[in-house]
Amino acid sequence: MVDEALRRRASAELPGWVLEGEELIGRWRFADFAEALAGAVRVGALAERADHHPDMRVGWGRLEVRLTTHSAKALTSRDVDLAGKISQALTPPHA
């Protein structure tokens, strides 16, 4: 179960992100496939810098980012931190 303080922090700091189990999920729409893939590449650069890596789904005009901490089998502050950076770099995900 997600730590209550962490849940409150995610809720306060991460508009548009959805918490499902131990995963933070953000979804974006883009104009086309290339834009969505470019979004994934930007997320990838942030992930490398944080040494913390999401699962991503890319489709035509769609990007989904899923964050959890596999080593802890739980959501951690590293996920919330990276989600915040992704929101800054792209935009907040659509709700």
- Rg (alpha carbons) of the chain, rounded to whole number: 13
In angstroms, the CA 91 to CA 3 distance is 26
Residue 49 interacts with a second copy (CB under 8 A): yes or no: no
Q: In this complex, which beta carbon is closest to a second copy, that of residue 9 or of residue 23?
A: 23
In the complex, what is the shortest distance from the CB of residue 6 to a second copy, in angstroms, rounded to a whole number?
22
In the complex, what is the shortest distance from the CB of residue 22 to a second copy, in angstroms, rounded to a whole number?
15
Give percent helix, percent strand, percent coil of the chain, each to the nearest 5.
Answer: 45, 25, 30
Q: Which of 8, 29, 49, 57 binds a second copy (CB under 8 A)?
A: 57
Q: In this complex, which beta carbon is closest to a second copy, that of residue 13 or of residue 55?
A: 55
Phi, psi (deg, nearest 5) at residue 19 = -100, 120
